[in-house]
Amino acid sequence: MTWIDGFVIPVPEARRADYAAMAEKVGRIFLDHGASQIVESWSADVPRGEVTDFYRAVAAEPGEGIVFSLIVWPSREIAEAGHKAAFADPRMAEAGDMTMFNGRRMIMGGFEQLLWMGERT
């Protein structure tokens, strides 16, 4: 069953290009270790809610954008093995400055695919 790792991360707007470059390098590593798709997206139309929203979920500060990311894997087992292999891969240490965002404010989780409609690109 397809497994999806989901992430929401606050990143300084001024570091958007740096984040994109780092994400491309890290994404390649995950693909090399079994991921089937990497999706990185930057907030463009993220409304502020009355009760909760993406900004509050990650305690975003002024000047930060919201990154919404997915790593799609063929299965949970492949995802678990792929994560271990990716973080042991020496290229990970050279992928870029991950201190550009506060990992303590990142939310993440693993999800079993419930439905996927349309083509996968």
DSSP strands (E only) in 3-76 = 3-12, 37-42, 64-73
Q: What's the whole-model pTM score?
A: 0.90
Q: Report the C-alpha gap between 120 and 48 in whole angstroms.
A: 29
pLDDT at 121 over 70: no
CA-CA-CA-CA dihedral for 89, 40, 58, 99, to nearest 10: 40
Q: Which long-range contacts (CB under 8 A, 24 or more apart) does 13-16 make?
A: 13/63, 13/64, 13/65, 14/63, 15/100, 15/101, 16/42, 16/65
pLDDT tens sequence across 75-112: 999 999 999 999 999 999 888 777 788 889 999 999 99
Q: How confident is the model over 14-30, as pLDDT tens digits?
A: 999 999 999 999 999 99
Domains in the chain: ranges and CATH? 16-60+75-97+104-112 (3.30.70.100)
